[in-house]
């Protein structure tokens, strides 16, 4: 009898290099033996070195894609990447919870690409009506956490956000030899500190991490378990190649 694999869905932009966005998410999900579904929010012209152009998908088309696959496949987890605005992102979250109330939502608030292109404006604070409480995890880096809250201190920003939902604050350097990610739940932080990887600057590393965590949640893992596995998977990705293009491969 064949193994029944869960579904997970990525709602993200198309990066033709495959290093970030929708293609990176799908590769990551499949590495975790999770069936992947992909919803395109934008089409970009970019590589791992430069960002040329972006075309946003009309919100109605995004929602039509979502309704089509959610009605048929019932994903257990959804990872959200780039969106045109906070309003579009909020409506995506509302639709997910309307159709599948118990699905897990992981939001990676990508405000700027690794090549420097800004997706949201520089004053992108969240409003009080943004549905953070409907998210099971958000994965901002230090800059994103500060911009979303208006706080200058990233730990304070993450604690503020964690009053509404769990937050994995990524990329905190404790010194030149280690890097720390911190999971905040209701203001309390759990640190994941690992050795710094010299060749670790990769295009799409944040996408890989958030999709990996979503895969764990789709398989029924606890949040802590999914985060631990997600960090391990991403570290393997970071160490996989000396270029900015990492290799997505299952953990041994």
CATH number at residue 124: 3.40.1190.20
Confidence of residue 177 (pLDDT cuts 50, 70, 90): confident
Confidence of residue 159 (pLDDT cuts 50, 70, 90): very high
Cα gap 57→47, rounded to integer Å = 20
What are the tens digits of pLDDT across the range 84-104?
999 999 999 999 999 999 999
Q: What letter does residue 133 receive in the DSSP assignment?
A: G
Q: Are strands 51-56 and 35-46 parallel, antiparallel or unpaired?
A: antiparallel
| Beta strands, E only, the chain | 7-14, 35-46, 51-56, 77-80, 104-107, 137-138, 167-172, 178-185, 188-195
Question: What is residue 124's predicted lDDT score, i.e. its pLDDT?
Answer: 65
- % of residues, the chain, pLDDT over 70: 95
189 pLDDT higher than 70: yes
The pTM of the whole model exceeds 0.75: yes
66 pLDDT higher than 80: yes
Question: What is residue 122's predicted lDDT score, i.e. its pLDDT?
Answer: 59
Question: Which of 227, 21, 251 minimizes the C-alpha distance to 104?
Answer: 227
110 pLDDT higher than 70: yes
What is the mean predicted confidence (pLDDT) over 9-25?
95
181 pLDDT higher than 90: yes
Q: What letter does residue 99 receive in the DSSP assignment?
A: H
Quickly tell me which residue has 């999914």 as its tokens. 226
- Asked if 90 and 83 touch (Cβ cutoff 8 Å), the reply is no
What number of H helices and E strands is found in the chain?
A: 7, 9
**In-domain check, residue 189:** yes
Confidence of residue 123 (pLDDT cuts 50, 70, 90): low
**Least confident window among 64-68, 184-188, 223-227, 245-249:** 245-249
Q: What is the largest CA-CA distance in the chain?
A: 54
Length in residues, the chain = 252
**In-domain check, residue 184:** yes
CA 120 to chain centre: 16
Give me Rg for the CA atoms of the chain.
17
**In-domain check, residue 215:** yes
**In-domain check, residue 248:** no
**In-domain check, residue 19:** no
Other CB atoms within a 10 A radius of the CB of residue 173 amount to 11
* Phi and psi based region of residue 55 (left: phi greater than 0; alpha: psi -120 to 50; beta: remaining): beta
CA atoms within 13 A on the CB side of 128: 0
Domain count, the chain: 1
Question: What is residue 173's predicted lDDT score, i.e. its pLDDT?
Answer: 59
Question: Which residues have CB under 8 Å from 88's CB, separation 6+?
Answer: 41, 59, 62
Cα gap 229→215, rounded to integer Å = 10
Task: Find the domain containing 100 and state its range.
Answer: 38-43+51-238
**In-domain check, residue 6:** no
Tokens (6 digits) for 241 = 């190649």
**In-domain check, residue 23:** no
Confidence of residue 239 (pLDDT cuts 50, 70, 90): confident
**In-domain check, residue 28:** no
- Asked if 56 and 84 touch (Cβ cutoff 8 Å), the reply is yes
């Amino acid at each position: 009898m064949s193994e029944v694999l869960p579904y997970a869905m990525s709602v993200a932009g198309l990066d033709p290099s495959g290093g970030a966005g929708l293609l990176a998410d799908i590769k990551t999900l499949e590495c975790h033996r999770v069936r992947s579904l992909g919803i395109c929010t934008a089409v970009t012209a970019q590589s791992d070195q430069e960002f040329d152009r972006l075309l946003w998908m009309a919100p109605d088309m995004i929602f039509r894609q979502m309704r089509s696959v959610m009605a048929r496949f019932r994903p257990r987890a959804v990872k959200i990447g780039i969106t045109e605005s906070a309003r579009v992102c909020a409506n995506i979250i509302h639709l997910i919870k309307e159709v599948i109330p118990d699905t897990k939502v992981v939001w990676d608030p990508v405000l700027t690409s690794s090549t420097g292109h800004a997706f949201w404006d520089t004053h992108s604070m969240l409003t009080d009506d943004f549905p953070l409480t409907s998210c099971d995890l958000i994965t901002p880096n230090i800059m994103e956490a500060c911009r979303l809250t208006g706080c200058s201190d990233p730990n304070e920003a993450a604690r503020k956000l964690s009053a509404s939902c769990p937050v994995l604050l990524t990329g905190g350097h404790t010194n030149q030899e280690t890097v720390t990610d911190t999971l905040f739940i209701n203001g309390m932080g759990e640190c994941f500190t690992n050795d710094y990887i010299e060749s670790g600057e990769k295009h799409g590393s944040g996408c890989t991490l958030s999709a990996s965590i979503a895969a764990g949640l789709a398989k029924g893992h606890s949040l802590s378990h999914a985060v631990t596995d997600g960090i391990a998977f991403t570290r393997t990705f970071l160490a996989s190649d000396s270029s900015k293009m990492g290799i997505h491969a299952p953990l041994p």
